[in-house]
Amino acid sequence: MKKIYAIFLLAFLSHAIQLKGQFCLFDLPPDSAVYTNYPWYGNNEYLDSIIDEMGYNDPMPEYSTSQSSIEGGFDNLTEVWIPVKAWIYHENNGNGGISEAEVEESIRYLNNRFNASQIPLPLGQASGHTRIQFYIACDIGHVNNTLFKDNPDEGTRLNLIAANNSAHSINIHYINTLSGAWGYASPPAYAVEDQLWAPPASISLYESIERSVIIRTADGGHLNSAIVHEVAHSLGLLHTYHSPAGSNIPNHDASPCAQEYVSRTKTNFPCGIWNGTSGKPRCSTKGDFLCGTAADPLMESSEIAQTSPGIWEYTGTRTDNDNVVWQPNVYNYMTYVDPDNMQFFALHQIAVMREFAGGSQWLKYKHPPHHQNEFIDIYEPDNVIGSAQELKFGIPQLRGLHAVKTGHPSNPSSWQCDVDWVYFEVPFGMKVNISTEPVPGNQQVGSTQIFLIDQDGSTVIGYNNNKSSSSTYSEISNITLSEGTYWLRIENNSSTAGEYYLNLEQCGE
């Protein structure tokens, strides 16, 4: 077992795929013990049962706002909250690198794609809410290192990950350039039956690689699409065209016994006699091991055409080894297509990610994330002024100040660092009241404090902690403001996470 696994690990660490249309650096021998030990290998019914347990056929609850006159609220479908430690890389002198607001926007995009909101439905296909969402774990890290920032080679990438890593989180490293790819991802865990193989002298390096993603941010504008693709890798998904064991041969060019065929019912006979899978569907033991995703030859750009406005289809004529024309899904997040077309997870892919995010495979992490959290509102992440959402006069917002939960699930740690930023527009000179209020019947945030920021985005012109000796909520009242844009920063001044209403009113109304 260890010898097989050592080969797998070294292959991952030292090898990057060199295929037309390369999107990311991720290549794992699929027939290693890591994959054959998964409960869905040759047994996709296991994934079907997860989908049923997740209630995909049940009615979808609405966000938890109880009144139409209130904005905001909470996503009631999410079952797994994964903390993200974000790292921005700059030159040695501190120059360069994207902004913290751009990082938060990328996480918001990631969440929108994982909850299937604001996504066009190509050809009637919609993957639905994955039940997985992400939140930024406190401060974003800043690293001044030009070698890390610009086109790091394989050894430098490993050093980058090892030097800047937070356990029990997905670590996303935002660098500037990366040769030949939009991103890089590690598999979700090097654990096999709770054992970690690594040379003793460098075990800390291999532990830190777990759940690490590197994203190229320069040129091309595909940062957001790349994050969805790479984070999905870190949660266990393979490319839909995944290569046969130990090679860079795309699925189209694989031998008959190594190929995932177009047919979803073709069995592994006689190829699977040696490992007991001869009666299993070929699609569950080859390619990405998921019968719920279409077999993919590794599509070429010339084989994808826009057949009507907004609709793209595979128009190639290549065939599998049974001479059946390939029928890949051009919208799947885990294929190689135009990143702007990526907008679809198949249900089997969702089930795999759910297992790695909070199911049977989750505790096989060396450092599993604490995946439960409350009070993460739909505005998150909004911890910096550049991510502020608009607050309107007379329309309260239902919000939360959440904790960060980390550590092993059996002994978690929790602390407060959430900040809510909002902005509001004053159409003409007036006096205004700004307040936080309790949410009846729900867990209350321990204590809020409000900072009112002037139009320059930095000068504090108003502050309140407790509006009275008997209240832990806050109010800035009867303050005169001229026409313009102002900002509010709301913080938790206690150790208790919870919900609150945020109000903005014109005095006298």
Beta strands 419-426 and 389-390 are parallel
CB atoms under 10 Å from CB of 47, counted, come to 26
- For the question of whether the overall pTM of this predicted structure is more than 0.85, the answer is yes
The verdict on domain 385-506 having CATH code 2.60.120.380 is yes
Domain regions of the chain by residue span: 2-24+79-237+347-364, 385-506
- What residues contact 81, with CB distance under 8 A and at least 6 apart? 133, 134, 135, 371, 372, 373, 376, 405
Indicate the helix (H) or strand (E) that contains 403.
strand 403-406
**Are the C-beta atoms of 49 and 335 separated by less than 8 Å?**
no
**CATH class in words for 2-24+79-237+347-364:** alpha beta
DSSP class of residue 270 equals: T
Cα–Cα distance measured from residue 333 to residue 349, given in angstroms and rounded to the nearest whole number: 10
CB atoms under 10 Å from CB of 498, counted, come to 21
Report helix, strand or coil for 108. helix
- What does each of the 509 residues of the chain score in pLDDT, given as a tens digit? 333 333 223 233 322 333 334 456 544 444 455 677 789 999 999 999 998 888 775 554 444 444 457 899 988 888 899 999 999 999 999 999 999 999 999 999 999 999 875 444 444 444 578 999 999 988 899 999 999 999 998 889 888 988 998 878 899 999 999 887 888 887 665 433 333 333 333 334 444 566 889 999 986 557 888 899 999 988 988 889 886 655 667 899 988 888 999 999 999 888 877 777 888 999 999 989 999 999 999 998 899 998 888 788 899 999 999 999 999 999 899 988 777 778 889 889 999 999 988 877 776 666 677 788 889 999 999 999 999 999 999 999 999 999 888 776 677 777 788 999 999 999 999 999 999 999 998 899 999 999 999 999 999 999 999 999 899 999 999 999 999 999 999 999 998 999 999 999 999 75
3-state secondary structure 69-104: CCEECECCCCCEEEEEEEEEEECCCCCCCCCHHHHH
Backbone angles phi, psi at 348, to 5 degrees: -65, -35
First to last CA, the chain: 73
